[in-house]
């Protein structure tokens, strides 16, 4: 390490915290939580201070640690890029991270394994910061896998619960499939760019270096590399067809869902795609595929959300859908709009998840919205903040941040592809519909169960973060906040289109809300029954079949073949020889044991014989 | 006396002492510790950049025969230093985890295997390199036959199988080495010295080189369970006593790879590049990764799964050897070390679980995390290391191998070559490893404990080997420089990089 820089503090302090807790959790007990919260607070403050400066894209990478360092040209180190994109993201990650740490102090107070929980949380902060700061693809991949590990640990926090362990495993493996592609993409770029995978270097090559001139000849490699890298994002940001892990990840503690599976980690895919936007820009086809996958994810996830009854799962599908928006924006070449939505979404989705945590906490671990009801009177603070989050998510015009950022994406879609614009608008309608449904069923009307009628607002340590996040949900799109975050400002589109887009957004919103009120007002059970949506288009069942038949059955067949052919046939020869020697040895009344020593002793004797007598004679 | 000679003979002396009645546990742990300290000391004072390619440090040579010129010559360079570190480290852990006092023979066998492995890694004379490995195999076979797990008939059958396989592999190897010595010796005297043989290697015709390389590949490959000569390995490791499994899978098996890197690649550079040899190697290593990967998924016992996964992971080291670029070869060396440590740790844990639980079937186990949190964490280190999680040693090696196959010397933007396609297919193996490892981890440690089947964390003194190996995985994983600095110079094998 060179010297202590802000970047190295933000990166290494959580690691220190995680290690201290891993090694000393028995001695620390309650103090473990304080160490973790303290480290996240320091990181948030440092990240806030870092927001101040302004500089060029990619900046000058700061060296933090050496990783694989062979020569000056062949090296993959841990360096930090400090530019507008990373500063803004760093603030989002550390600040929401800090609020979630604080909230967890209340939410997890009865959990016996709190040190493990906070240790894993610190581990996550370390890994996520690494992704944000990464200055090269190998470093990005390292931390990419490490967030996968922390996510695995946190989803499986309640490891006695079979569903939680299965969900953790599923999340890790699905991400591994994505990372399979990611690694291929890294290798292709490594080859293309002659051994350098630094972002600044790659961007330079694409802009005015060798890759710019010869692009025509290497189009296939560039497209393949872009699509492979995108596969990593499909895994991490849970896009179709690798989206299946995210809803299951809701088995983890709710603060974890807020931080990792809504605000930050799942957005890493979008962050990474924006980092390599020069690559996506170089391949039109890859851009189209990315935008298409984003659009499909947005609408499919929204359709699935319509028929879910678990409060966290509704929010999880909504996260998928919103991530689809962001990915679509990146594919359309509007990375700045995607990043802007990432920022606003991080605040309001974290708010909604922490709010749902407050509801679950208040209702004694009840997650079915049909067993709630009337919570607006029981838990007013939660209700109001949750309503603000919902308003931001469905994009209530002008006053919420979600409206502005979603409008940016719809604008980009309108400009480039009308079909995606239609999909985006319809998704906006669905979003308004399912979120209003959630609000009506869970918060309005009369309590449907005892636990709902005895619910009350959680303690201040949990309500505090909700209040802070609701303020940010309303204000994060205001120029004053947006400029601080150094969000790249979406470029303006023509004013006539602008008003058209605003008009469509508002129509979708009003239609969604109105339909939800008409259908769900005062209902005690769901009037809609669409099995296809409720069963998530049977994708999980399809994958379960794939694993069972394509993988396990294949493994069974291969094992059988291996036994028959390799062990049976190829081993036939040695076995035949063995029998001869074996019977020879037995005829000496020596038995097996002597057989081994005999054969081996024979080997060495033979070696000596060959060396001393045979070789000199042949060698002349 | 060179410190290297001390390191080779100390375990032999210690095992003699134990045989004659010295207290087994103390003697063997002391000997292992002294060895570890000597090699560790050499490593600390070792400056990898000072040695020229093909040069050795701490050399000492005693002539045994004039013609053919055979001498007991030892020397150390970065690669053999890394393997010696691995050997002494795993030996220390392996003898420490032998608990029962009566197991005198376990200590003796472990020390002898260790001595043989060190002799093989530190000899610079091909004759002794070969002979030491053969010597180390004897206690391995005997221990499997006499003290292996399972009933007598099974373990004898397994011991017989491995004896035959490795015996035949050694014979093929011997033939290859003989051909090498015949073709590369200068002047009237035959020599077995690695450095001396290198002088003439450039003048040997490519076709001859290819044949000798292929024979050596088959010979060394059998010892490393290269597909399809692998079927001895899985039953052997599942049957072997814990310390033997740790030492063979972790250390001795690396001899074949070491031989390829030390002898075959530098002495037969054209042979390694011959297209048919290259293609054969790629096919075989894909067999290791994909076929054995699927076979590993199918296993339903922990010991079988670990044994098969060890066979599978050899494929990645062969991939590095097939690539032959500096990055890939150095990655292969790091991976040899990393795999050795992680598989030794896995077998140490597996042995402990077998002793305490009485079964290793996944379907009968569950919920161990509740009562044995430390064991759960340590197992996670071994499991996640073996599936290539960044931050643990194996990842550093694997990623170097992968990147090495896309080195600019091998890159053509027109189309990918066979090596690169192999890498892409091998990457799927990384997914396969995660599938079987996480399944096993889930079934053994998570969920609710099965009735009557639970175990507690090991006593404090028994944690030493486990924590030590896990810490090494972490340190090398976070700072691969600890190993890479030792092999700073492009050593002789990387000549192939001139492709």
pLDDT digits 0-9 by tens, A46-55: 999 888 766 6
Q: Is A190 on the interface with B (CB under 8 A)?
A: yes
Contacts of A607 in chain B (CB under 8 A): 127, 130-131, 134, 174
In whole numbers, what is the pLDDT of chain B averaged over residues?
Answer: 90
Contacts of B181 in chain A (CB under 8 A): 615, 619
Structure tokens at B134: 């053969």
Q: Which of A134, A118, A71, A197 is nearest to B403 (CA)?
A: A197
Contact B231 A567 (CB under 8 A): yes
Q: Which of B20, B18, B42 is nearest to B30 (CA)?
A: B18
- Neighbouring C-beta atoms of residue B69, cutoff 10 Å: 18
The CA-based angle A43-A46-A49, given to 5 degrees, is: 150
Q: Which of A198, A192, A183, A147 is nearest to B401 (CA)?
A: A183
Structure tokens at B8: 């080779």
CA separation for the pair A385, A354 (Å, rounded): 10
CA separation for the pair B266, B269 (Å, rounded): 6
Q: Cβ distance A300 to A240 under 8 Å?
A: yes
Model confidence over B349-384: pLDDT tens digits? 999 999 888 889 998 888 898 889 999 999 999 999
What integer is the mean pLDDT of B269-273? 89
Contacts of A165 in chain B (CB under 8 A): 442, 446-447
For B484, which residue in chain A has the nearest alpha carbon?
A: A70
Model confidence over A431-485: pLDDT tens digits? 999 999 999 999 998 888 888 888 888 889 999 999 999 999 998 888 777 777 7
- Select from A156, A562, A619 the Cβ nearest to the Cβ of B190: A619
For A553, which residue in chain B has the nearest alpha carbon?
A: B298
CA separation for the pair B455, B447 (Å, rounded): 15
pLDDT confidence band for A610 (50 / 70 / 90): confident
For A74, which residue in chain B has the nearest alpha carbon?
A: B327
- In sequence order, the 6+-apart residues with CB closer than 8 A to the CB of A503 are none
pLDDT confidence band for A144 (50 / 70 / 90): very high
For B170, which residue in chain A has the nearest alpha carbon?
A: A603
pTM value is 0.93
The most distant pair of C-alpha atoms in chain B lies apart, rounded to whole Å, by: 73
Which range has the worst mean pLDDT, A262-271, A489-498, B8-17, B424-433? A489-498
Classify burial at A451, counting beta carbons within 10 Å of its beta carbon; exposed 0-12, middle 13-18, buried 19 or more.
middle
CA distances in angstroms from B437 to A232, B248, B319, listed in the order given: 21, 21, 22
Q: Cβ distance A441 to A517 under 8 Å?
A: no
| Total CB pairs under 8 A between chain A and B | 221
A65, A68, A232, best to mutate vs chain B, most B CBs in 10 Å: A68
Q: Is A214 on the interface with B (CB under 8 A)?
A: yes
Q: Is the model's pLDDT at B496 over the cut of 50?
A: no
Model confidence over B328-357: pLDDT tens digits? 999 999 999 999 999 999 999 999 999 888
Report the pLDDT value the prediction gives residue A488, as an integer from 0 to 100.
56
Q: Cβ distance A318 to A302 under 8 Å?
A: yes
Q: Is A569 on the interface with B (CB under 8 A)?
A: no
Contacts of B70 in chain A (CB under 8 A): 611
Q: Is the model's pLDDT at A585 over the cut of 60?
A: no
Q: Is the model's pLDDT at A516 over the cut of 50?
A: yes
pLDDT confidence band for B495 (50 / 70 / 90): very low
pLDDT confidence band for A596 (50 / 70 / 90): low
Report the pLDDT value the prediction gives residue B309, as an integer from 0 to 100.
96
Q: Cβ distance A268 to A147 under 8 Å?
A: yes
CA distances in angstroms from A343 to A294, A422, A477, listed in the order given: 17, 24, 9
What is the SS3 assignment for B66?
Answer: coil
User: What is the b/e burial string over A552-589, where b = at least 16 CB atoms within 10 angstroms of the residue's CB?
Assistant: eeebeebbeebeeebbeeebeebbeebeebbeebeeee
pLDDT confidence band for A45 (50 / 70 / 90): very high
Report the pLDDT value the prediction gives residue A490, as an integer from 0 to 100.
54
Percent share of chain A, pLDDT over 70 = 89
Which ranges of A548-614 does DSSP label H, i.e. alpha helix?
554-561, 572-587, 591-609
Long-range (24+ apart) CB contacts under 8 A made by B458-465 are B458/B352, B458/B374, B458/B375, B462/B97, B462/B99, B462/B352, B463/B374, B464/B96, B465/B92, B465/B93, B465/B94, B465/B96, B465/B97, B465/B348
What integer is the mean pLDDT of A330-351? 93
* A406: closest CA of chain B, how far (Å): 36
Secondary-structure percent of chain A, ordered helix, strand, coil, rounded to 5: 75, 5, 20
Eight-state DSSP code of residue B486: G
Model confidence over A243-274: pLDDT tens digits? 999 999 999 999 999 999 999 999 999 999 99
pLDDT confidence band for B445 (50 / 70 / 90): very high
Instruction: Give the helix/strand (H/E) hosting A484.
Output: helix A479-484
Q: Cβ distance A491 to A498 under 8 Å?
A: no
The owner of tokens 């290593």 is B285
CA separation for the pair A324, A184 (Å, rounded): 23
CA separation for the pair A66, B484 (Å, rounded): 11
Contacts of A575 in chain B (CB under 8 A): 161, 164
Structure tokens at B293: 């990967």
Model confidence over B161-199: pLDDT tens digits? 888 888 888 989 999 999 998 888 877 788 888 888 888
Structure tokens at B366: 């569950």
* B99: closest CA of chain A, how far (Å): 26
CA distances in angstroms from B20 to B99, B104, B111, B136, B142, listed in the order given: 20, 11, 15, 20, 20
For B483, which residue in chain A has the nearest alpha carbon?
A: A68
Q: Cβ distance B94 to B49 under 8 Å?
A: no
Contact B141 A596 (CB under 8 A): yes
What integer is the mean pLDDT of A72-90? 87
Report the pLDDT value the prediction gives residue A213, as an integer from 0 to 100.
66
CA separation for the pair A379, A435 (Å, rounded): 18
Torsion of CA B381, B382, B383, B385, to 10 degrees: 80
What integer is the mean pLDDT of B299-325? 95
Contacts of B374 in chain A (CB under 8 A): none
Contact B435 A551 (CB under 8 A): yes
Contact B430 A176 (CB under 8 A): yes
DSSP string, A379-410: -HHHHHHHHHHHHHHHT-TTTSHHHHHHHHHH
β-sheet bridge partners, residue B60:
B74
CA separation for the pair A291, A288 (Å, rounded): 5
Which range has the worst mean pLDDT, A560-574, B361-375, B452-466? A560-574
pLDDT confidence band for A338 (50 / 70 / 90): very high
Which range has the worst mean pLDDT, A563-572, A575-584, B226-235? A575-584
B311, B407, B412, B438, best to mutate vs chain A, most A CBs in 10 Å: B438
Report the pLDDT value the prediction gives residue A584, as an integer from 0 to 100.
56
Contacts of B405 in chain A (CB under 8 A): 187
Report the pLDDT value the prediction gives residue B413, as an integer from 0 to 100.
78
pLDDT confidence band for A14 (50 / 70 / 90): very high
The owner of tokens 């057989």 is A595
Percent share of chain B, pLDDT over 90 = 64
Structure tokens at A510: 């009003």
* A165: closest CA of chain B, how far (Å): 7
The owner of tokens 């597996």 is B350
Report the pLDDT value the prediction gives residue A445, as an integer from 0 to 100.
85
* B95: closest CA of chain A, how far (Å): 24
Q: Is the model's pLDDT at A586 over the cut of 70?
A: no
CA separation for the pair A316, B332 (Å, rounded): 42
Q: Cβ distance B486 to B82 under 8 Å?
A: yes
Report the pLDDT value the prediction gives residue A571, as an integer from 0 to 100.
62
In whole numbers, what is the pLDDT of chain A averaged over residues?
Answer: 87
Beta pairing, strands B70-76 & B57-65? antiparallel
Q: Is the model's pLDDT at A580 over the cut of 80?
A: no
Contacts of B230 in chain A (CB under 8 A): 566
pLDDT confidence band for B494 (50 / 70 / 90): very low
CA separation for the pair A612, B67 (Å, rounded): 8
Contacts of A149 in chain B (CB under 8 A): 384, 389
Eight-state DSSP code of residue A260: I
Which range has the worst mean pLDDT, A107-111, A327-331, B30-34, B420-424? A107-111
The owner of tokens 């005690």 is A524
- Select from A156, A177, A218 the Cβ nearest to the Cβ of B413: A218
CA separation for the pair A127, A131 (Å, rounded): 7
The owner of tokens 């090494």 is B472
CA separation for the pair A400, A389 (Å, rounded): 9
Q: Cβ distance B405 to B426 under 8 Å?
A: no
pLDDT confidence band for A505 (50 / 70 / 90): very high
pLDDT confidence band for B451 (50 / 70 / 90): low
CA separation for the pair B190, B180 (Å, rounded): 10
Report the pLDDT value the prediction gives residue A549, as an integer from 0 to 100.
83
Q: Cβ distance B362 to B272 under 8 Å?
A: no
CA separation for the pair B25, A604 (Å, rounded): 30
CA separation for the pair B49, A70 (Å, rounded): 11
The owner of tokens 């186990």 is B365
What integer is the mean pLDDT of A369-382? 89
Classify burial at A112, counting beta carbons within 10 Å of its beta carbon; exposed 0-12, middle 13-18, buried 19 or more.
exposed
CA separation for the pair A453, B300 (Å, rounded): 49
What integer is the mean pLDDT of A353-365? 92
For A157, which residue in chain B has the nearest alpha carbon?
A: B446
Report the pLDDT value the prediction gives residue B256, as an integer from 0 to 100.
95
Top-confidence residue, A495 or A351: A351
- ipTM of this predicted structure: 0.94
pLDDT confidence band for A577 (50 / 70 / 90): low
* A47: closest CA of chain B, how far (Å): 25
């Amino acid at each position: 390490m060179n010297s202590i820089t802000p970047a190295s503090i933000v990166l290494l302090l959580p690691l220190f915290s995680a290690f201290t807790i891993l090694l000393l959790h028995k001695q620390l007990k309650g103090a473990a939580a304080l160490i973790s919260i303290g480290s996240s607070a320091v990181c948030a403050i440092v990240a806030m201070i870092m927001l101040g400066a302004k500089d060029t894209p990619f900046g000058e990478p700061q060296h933090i640690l050496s990783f694989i360092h062979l020569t000056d040209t062949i090296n993959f180190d841990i360096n930090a890029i400090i530019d507008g994109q990373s500063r803004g993201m760093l603030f989002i990650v550390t600040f929401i991270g800090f609020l979630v740490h604080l909230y967890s102090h209340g939410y997890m107070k009865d959990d016996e394994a709190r040190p493990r929980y906070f240790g894993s949380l610190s581990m996550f902060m370390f890994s996520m910061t690494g992704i944000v700061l990464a200055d090269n693809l190998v470093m990005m991949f390292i931390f990419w896998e490490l967030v996968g590990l922390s996510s695995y640990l946190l989803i499986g926090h309640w490891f006695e619960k079979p569903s939680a362990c299965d969900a953790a495993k599923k999340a890790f493996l699905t991400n591994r499939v994505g990372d399979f592609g990611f690694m291929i993409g890294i290798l292709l770029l490594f080859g293309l760019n002659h051994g350098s995978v630094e972002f600044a270097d790659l961007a330079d090559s694409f802009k005015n270096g060798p890759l710019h001139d010869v692009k025509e000849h290497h189009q296939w490699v560039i497209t393949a590399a872009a699509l492979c890298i995108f596969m990593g994002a499909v895994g991490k940001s849970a896009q179709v067809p690798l989206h299946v892990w995210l809803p299951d990840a809701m088995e983890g503690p709710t603060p974890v869902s807020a931080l990792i599976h809504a605000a930050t980690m799942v957005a890493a895919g979008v962050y990474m795609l924006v980092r390599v936007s020069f690559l996506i820009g170089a391949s039109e086809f890859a851009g189209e595929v990315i935008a298409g996958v984003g659009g499909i994810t947005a609408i499919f996830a929204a359709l699935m959300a319509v028929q879910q009854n678990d409060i966290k799962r509704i929010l999880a599908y909504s996260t998928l859908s919103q991530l689809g928006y962001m990915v679509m924006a990146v594919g359309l070449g509007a990375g700045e709009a995607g990043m802007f939505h990432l920022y606003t979404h991080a605040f309001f989705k974290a708010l909604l998840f922490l709010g749902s945590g407050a509801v679950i906490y208040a209702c004694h671990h009840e997650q079915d919205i049909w067993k709630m009801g009337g919570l607006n009177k029981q838990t007013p603070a939660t209700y109001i903040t949750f309503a603000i989050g919902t308003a931001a998510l469905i994009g209530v015009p002008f006053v919420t941040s979600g409206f502005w950022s979603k409008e940016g994406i719809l604008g980009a879609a309108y400009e480039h592809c009308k079909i995606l614009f239609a999909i985006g608008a319809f998704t906006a309608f669905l979003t308004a519909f399912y979120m209003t449904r959630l609000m009506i069923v869970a918060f309005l009307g009369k309590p449907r169960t005892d636990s709902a009628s005895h619910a009350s607002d959680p303690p201040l340590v949990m309500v505090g973060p909700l209040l802070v996040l609701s303020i940010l949900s309303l204000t994060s799109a205001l120029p004053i906040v947006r400029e601080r975050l150094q969000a790249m400002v979406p470029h303006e589109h023509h004013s006539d289109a602008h008003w058209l887009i605003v008009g469509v957004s508002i129509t979708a919103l009003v239609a969604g809300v109105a339909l939800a009120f008409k259908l769900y007002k005062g209902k005690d059970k769901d009037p809609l029954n669409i099995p296809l949506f409720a069963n998530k288009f049977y994708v999980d069942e399809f994958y379960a079949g794939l694993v069972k038949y394509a993988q396990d059955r294949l493994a069974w067949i291969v094992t059988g073949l291996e036994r028959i052919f390799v062990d049976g046939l190829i081993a036939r020869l040695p076995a035949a020889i063995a029998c001869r020697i074996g019977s020879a040895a037995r005829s000496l009344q020596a038995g097996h044991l002597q057989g081994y020593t005999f054969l081996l002793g024979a080997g060495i004797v033979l070696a000596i014989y060959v060396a001393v007598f045979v070789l000199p004679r042949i060698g002349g | 006396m060179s410190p290297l000679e001390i390191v080779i003979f100390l375990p032999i002396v210690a095992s003699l002492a134990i045989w004659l009645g010295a207290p087994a546990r103390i003697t063997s742990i002391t000997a292992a510790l002294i060895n570890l300290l000597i090699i560790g000391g050499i490593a600390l004072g070792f400056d990898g950049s000072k040695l020229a390619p093909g040069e050795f440090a701490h050399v000492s040579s005693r002539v045994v025969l004039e013609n053919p010129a055979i001498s007991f010559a030892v020397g150390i360079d970065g690669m053999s230093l890394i393997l010696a570190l691995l050997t002494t480290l795993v030996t220390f852990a392996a003898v420490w985890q032998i608990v029962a006092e009566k197991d005198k023979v376990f200590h003796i066998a472990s020390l002898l295997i260790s001595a043989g492995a060190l002799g093989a890694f530190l000899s610079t004379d091909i004759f002794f390199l070969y002979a030491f490995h053969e010597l180390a195999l004897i206690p391995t076979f005997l221990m499997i036959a006499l003290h292996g797990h399972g009933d007598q008939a099974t373990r004898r059958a397994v011991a017989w199988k491995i004896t035959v396989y490795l015996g035949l592999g050694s014979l093929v190897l011997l033939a290859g080495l003989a051909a090498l010595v015949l073709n590369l010796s200068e002047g009237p005297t035959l020599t077995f010295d690695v450095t001396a043989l290198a002088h003439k290697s450039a003048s040997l015709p490519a076709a001859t080189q290819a044949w000798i390389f292929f024979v050596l590949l088959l010979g060394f490959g059998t010892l490393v369970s290269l597909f399809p000569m692998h079927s001895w390995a899985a039953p052997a490791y599942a049957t072997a006593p814990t310390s033997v499994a740790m030492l063979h899978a972790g250390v001795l098996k690396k001899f074949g790879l070491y031989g390829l890197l030390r002898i075959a690649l530098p002495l037969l550079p054209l042979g390694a590049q011959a297209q048919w040899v290259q293609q054969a190697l790629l096919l075989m290593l894909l067999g290791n990764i994909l076929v054995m990967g699927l076979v590993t998924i199918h296993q339903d016992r922990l010991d079988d799964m670990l044994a098969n996964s060890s066979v599978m992971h050899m494929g990645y080291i062969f991939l590095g050897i097939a690539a032959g670029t500096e990055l890939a070869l150095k990655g292969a060396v790091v991976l040899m070390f990393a795999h050795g440590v992680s598989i030794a740790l896995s077998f140490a844990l597996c042995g402990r679980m077998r002793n305490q639980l009485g079964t290793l079937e996944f379907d009968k186990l569950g919920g161990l995390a509740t009562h044995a949190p430390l064991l759960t964490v340590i197992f996670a280190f071994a499991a996640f290391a073996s599936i290539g999680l960044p931050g643990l040693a194996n990842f550093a090696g694997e990623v170097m191998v992968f990147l090495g196959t896309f080195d600019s010397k091998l890159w053509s933007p027109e189309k990918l070559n066979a090596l690169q396609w192999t890498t892409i297919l091998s990457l799927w193996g990384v997914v396969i490893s995660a599938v079987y490892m996480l399944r096993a981890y889930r079934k053994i440690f998570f969920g609710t404990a099965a009735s009557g089947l639970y175990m507690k964390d090991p006593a404090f003194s028994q944690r030493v080997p486990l924590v030590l190996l896990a810490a090494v995985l972490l340190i090398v994983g976070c700072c691969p420089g600890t190993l890479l600095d030792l092999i700073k110079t492009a050593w002789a094998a990387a000549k192939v990089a001139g492709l």
